[in-house]
């Protein structure tokens, strides 16, 4: 057996021990270098947030709902929403206040634009906070708003235009019968109704159509007199007599008497040719139309002059409308009118102004105007409701005009809000004329004084802006009046 060392290790171990220690030292050194390099690479990344955080400086905190309210410290609004920070690299230099700077609040105004201000914060009847008005926003006689505020209010503007305008007159009325196309049928003799071909109200008749057959002793006697006069003239050779500038024979005189009773010419020619007396004679219709009223029945007796029928020609109707006295200027017969009937929605008709009545109704301050409407197929009925629209060109040169919504009329003062650009607005008193329409139907107000052709006027949210401008002007006047008192 081979001998072993005293410690029990193999015989060559003491010789290898230095080499093992050297190898361990090399591995330990390499590991330390590797850890040092990793630490140097991670250190810049971890240091970036600490270096970037101080670079973004918070100037102030703004209202999360866009209201004109800022705070130098974090806070919440009435709904519990956090105010949003505004950084120095986000806010424009003109709009961002300097750190620690406070905007001076002049007063608080009503959020709905009513003429009410308060020196301290308060709420209106609906629980809405009054809005602060700052000293750097207030201007005497004008108003300056930021683009955000303009967008929030919904301010819109429109250019002043100079173009032909038309005065528009609207009126409501009813269709009625044309009085010139009505006819009362009467007889110039007494008699009985033997036959009644037209026996119902509303029946359509044509001119010359027989309305009834009448038996009249007077007509029978007149026919017999004609036959006797005719025979006597031939037997006795009588000469013509003077009647109305011409000579009539005895036969012609008797026949003319029958014509004066309005007997139809066909019945007279039948008498001349047949030489026979007819027991009944027809009563013809004088016009074409409809029967509005029938006052006789078959077998009834009538006296001379009694009204037997009421007829009307409905091929043309009247539209009677009431026009206010303020709209009468320039209105004259012959103007065309647009007519719309409630019975035919969406259908536009054309009529013609026929007559302006000479009297005014003192209760309604209106004048009746008559418009003619053709009714060839009988679709339109008397009594139907209708709306009429007349457009009359304004006389003279095309005037300056603005949209109707741009005018602020308090009853004693008429004004416009002029958009000067860059968020600046200026109220201006004007002299307004009538409201007119363009060829496309847009309603505009004629401005007679106080406006230039190339200006812009506010057409939306102008009442809010005008009230705010008046409040600021009034507050500026109060401050100017209070300054001498404080000095004294």
Q: What is the pLDDT of residue 60?
A: 77
Cα dihedral sign for 319, 320, 324, 326?
positive
Helix (H) or strand (E) holding 192: strand 191-195
Which of the four pLDDT bands, split at 50, 70 and 90, describes residue 42? very low
Average pLDDT rounded to a whole number, residues 187-197 = 94
Cα–Cα distance, 230 to 272 (Å, whole number): 10
Average pLDDT, the chain: 80
Cα–Cα distance, 419 to 409 (Å, whole number): 18
Cα dihedral sign for 248, 254, 257, 263?
negative
Q: Could you give the residue ranges of the DSSP H alpha helices within 177-312?
A: 217-236, 250-260, 265-274
Average pLDDT rounded to a whole number, residues 417-434 = 85
Say yes or no to pLDDT of 258 above 70: yes
Q: What is the pLDDT of residue 424?
A: 83
Which of the four pLDDT bands, split at 50, 70 and 90, describes residue 37? low
Quick: pLDDT tens for 90-145: 644 434 444 445 667 777 877 776 656 777 888 888 888 888 877 655 544 567 77
- Is residue 246 exposed (0-12), middle (13-18) or buried (19+ Cβ within 10 Å)? exposed
CA atoms lying within 13 Å on the CB side of residue 450: 19
Give the contacts of 122 (CB within 8 A, at least 6 positions apart). Answer: 108, 129, 130
Query: What CATH code is assigned to 156-165+397-479?
Result: 2.40.420.20
Identify the architecture of domain 168-178+314-393 in CATH.
Beta Barrel (2.40)
Residues above pLDDT 70, as percent of the chain: 74
Domain boundaries, the chain: 156-165+397-479, 168-178+314-393, 183-312
Q: What is the pLDDT of residue 1?
A: 42
User: What is the CATH T-level fold of the domain 183-312, as seen in this structure?
Assistant: OB fold (Dihydrolipoamide Acetyltransferase, E2P) (2.40.50)
**By C-alpha distance, which of 383, 465, 357 is closest to 141?**
465
- Is residue 418 exposed (0-12), middle (13-18) or buried (19+ Cβ within 10 Å)? buried
Give the contacts of 438 (CB within 8 A, at least 6 positions apart). Answer: 163, 164, 165, 166, 444
Query: Which of 62-66, 224-228, 441-445 shows the lowest mean pLDDT across its residues?
Result: 62-66
């Amino acid at each position: 057996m081979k001998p072993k060392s005293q410690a029990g290790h193999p015989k060559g171990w003491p010789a290898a021990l230095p080499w093992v220690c050297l190898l361990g030292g090399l591995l330990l050194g390499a590991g330390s270098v590797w850890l040092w390099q990793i630490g140097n690479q991670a250190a810049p990344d971890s240091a970036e947030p600490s270096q970037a955080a101080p670079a973004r400086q918070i100037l102030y905190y703004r209202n999360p709902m866009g209201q004109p309210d800022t705070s130098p410290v974090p806070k919440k609004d009435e709904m519990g929403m956090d105010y949003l920070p505004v950084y120095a690299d986000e806010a424009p230099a003109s709009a961002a206040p300097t750190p620690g700077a406070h905007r001076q609040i002049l007063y608080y105004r009503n959020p709905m634009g009513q003429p009410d201000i308060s020196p301290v914060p308060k709420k209106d009847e609906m629980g809405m906070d009054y809005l602060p008005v700052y000293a750097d926003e207030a201007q005497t006689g004008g108003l300056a708003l930021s683009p955000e505020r303009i967008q929030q209010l919904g301010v819109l503007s429109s250019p002043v235009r100079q173009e032909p305008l038309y005065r528009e007159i609207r009126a409501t009325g009813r269709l009625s019968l044309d009085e010139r196309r009505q006819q009362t049928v009467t007889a110039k003799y007494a008699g009985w109704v033997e036959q009644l071909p037209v026996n119902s109200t509303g029946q359509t008749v044509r001119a010359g159509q027989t309305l009834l057959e009448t038996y009249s002793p007077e007509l029978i006697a007149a026919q017999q007199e004609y036959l006797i006069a005719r025979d006597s003239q031939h037997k006795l050779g009588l000469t013509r007599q003077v009647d109305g500038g011409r000579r009539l024979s005895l036969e012609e005189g008797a026949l003319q008497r029958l014509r004066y009773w309005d007997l139809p010419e066909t019945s007279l020619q039948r008498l001349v040719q047949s030489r026979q007396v007819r027991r009944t004679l027809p009563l013809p219709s004088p016009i074409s139309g409809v029967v509005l009223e029938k006052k006789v029945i078959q077998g009834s007796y009538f006296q001379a002059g009694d009204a037997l029928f009421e007829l009307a020609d409905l091929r043309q109707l009247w539209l009677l409308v009431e026009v206010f006295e303020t709209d009468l200027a320039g209105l004259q017969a012959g103007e065309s009118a647009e007519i719309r009937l409630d019975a035919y929605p969406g259908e536009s008709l054309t009529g013609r102004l026929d007559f302006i009545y000479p009297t005014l109704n003192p209760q309604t301050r209106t004048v009746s105007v008559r418009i003619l409407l053709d009714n060839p197929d009988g679709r339109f009925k008397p009594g139907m409701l209708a709306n009429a629209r007349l457009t009359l060109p304004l006389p003279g040169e095309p005037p300056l005009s603005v949209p109707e919504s741009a005018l602020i009329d308090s009853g004693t003062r008429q004004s416009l809000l002029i958009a000067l650009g860059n968020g600046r607005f200026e109220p201006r008193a004007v002299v307004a004329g009538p409201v007119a329409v363009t060829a496309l139907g847009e309603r505009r107000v004629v401005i007679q004084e106080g406006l230039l052709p190339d200006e812009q006027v506010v057409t939306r949210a102008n009442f809010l802006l005008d009230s705010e401008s008046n409040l600021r002007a009034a507050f500026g006047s109060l401050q100017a009046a209070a300054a001498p008192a404080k000095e004294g």
